[in-house]
Amino acid sequence: MKRLSTRCFAVMAGVAVAAAAIVAIPSLARAQSADLVLCDRVAADPADPDKPADIKGVADIAPSDVATAIKYCRNASGSSRRAMFELGRAYAANRQLPEATAAWRKAADKGSTSAMVELGVLYATGAGVAKDDAQAQKLFERAAQAGNPRGVSNLAALSSAGGTPSDPAKAREMLAKAAETNAEAQYQLGLMLADGKGGAKDEAGARSLFEKAAAQNHAGALEQMGEFSEEGRGGPKDSAAAKAYYEKAAALGDDDAKKALKRISCPVVIKDKRGNLVTNLCF
Query: Around 166, how many Cα atoms within 13 Å sit in the side-chain half-sphere?
Result: 28
C-alpha torsion angle, residues 188, 216, 65, 90 (rounded to 10): -20
Q: How confident is the model at residue 283 (pLDDT cuts 50, 70, 90)?
A: low
Confidence at residue 263, expressed as pLDDT on a 0 to 100 scale: 87
CA distance 23 to 273: 76
What is the CB neighbour count within 10 angstroms for residue 132? 17
Give Cα 8 to chain centroid, integer Å: 9
Decide if 128 is inside a domain: no
Decide if 122 is inside a domain: no
Last residue of a domain, one of 71, 91, 110: 110
Decide if 145 is inside a domain: no
Confidence at residue 144, expressed as pLDDT on a 0 to 100 scale: 86
Cβ–Cβ < 8 Å for 168, 191 = no
Cβ–Cβ < 8 Å for 108, 139 = yes
Longest dimension (CA), the chain: 81
Residue pLDDT, tens place only, 202-220: 999 999 999 999 999 999 9
Decide if 196 is inside a domain: no
CATH number (domain holding residue 229): 1.25.40.10
Q: For residues 104 and 207, state if they share a domain.
A: no
Last residue of a domain, one of 93, 110, 127: 110
Task: Note down the domain range covering 208.
Answer: 202-283
- Work out the percent of the chain whose per-residue pLDDT is above 90: 59
The DSSP secondary-structure symbol of 148 reads: -
- The structure's pTM equals 0.61
Q: How confident is the model at residue 158 (pLDDT cuts 50, 70, 90)?
A: confident
User: Nearest Cα to 246, choosing from 271, 268, 221, 269?
Assistant: 221
User: Nearest Cα to 220, choosing from 189, 187, 260, 242?
Assistant: 187
- Work out the percent of the chain whose per-residue pLDDT is above 70: 82
Decide if 178 is inside a domain: no
Backbone angles phi, psi at 278, to 5 degrees: -100, -50
Decide if 264 is inside a domain: yes
Alpha-helical segments (H) within the chain = 13-22, 28-43, 66-76, 81-93, 97-109, 113-125, 133-145, 149-160, 168-178, 183-195, 203-214, 219-231, 239-251, 255-265
Q: How confident is the model at residue 182 (pLDDT cuts 50, 70, 90)?
A: confident
C-alpha torsion angle, residues 230, 233, 234, 237 (rounded to 10): 40
The total number of structural domains in the chain stands at 2
Confidence at residue 155, expressed as pLDDT on a 0 to 100 scale: 80
CA distance 104 to 101: 5
Cβ–Cβ < 8 Å for 220, 2 = yes
Give Cα 66 to chain centroid, integer Å: 20
Decide if 140 is inside a domain: no
Residue pLDDT, tens place only, 249-279: 999 889 999 999 988 887 666 777 787 766 6
Confidence at residue 181, expressed as pLDDT on a 0 to 100 scale: 79
Give Cα 164 to chain centroid, integer Å: 21
Last residue of a domain, one of 87, 110, 133: 110
The DSSP secondary-structure symbol of 194 reads: H
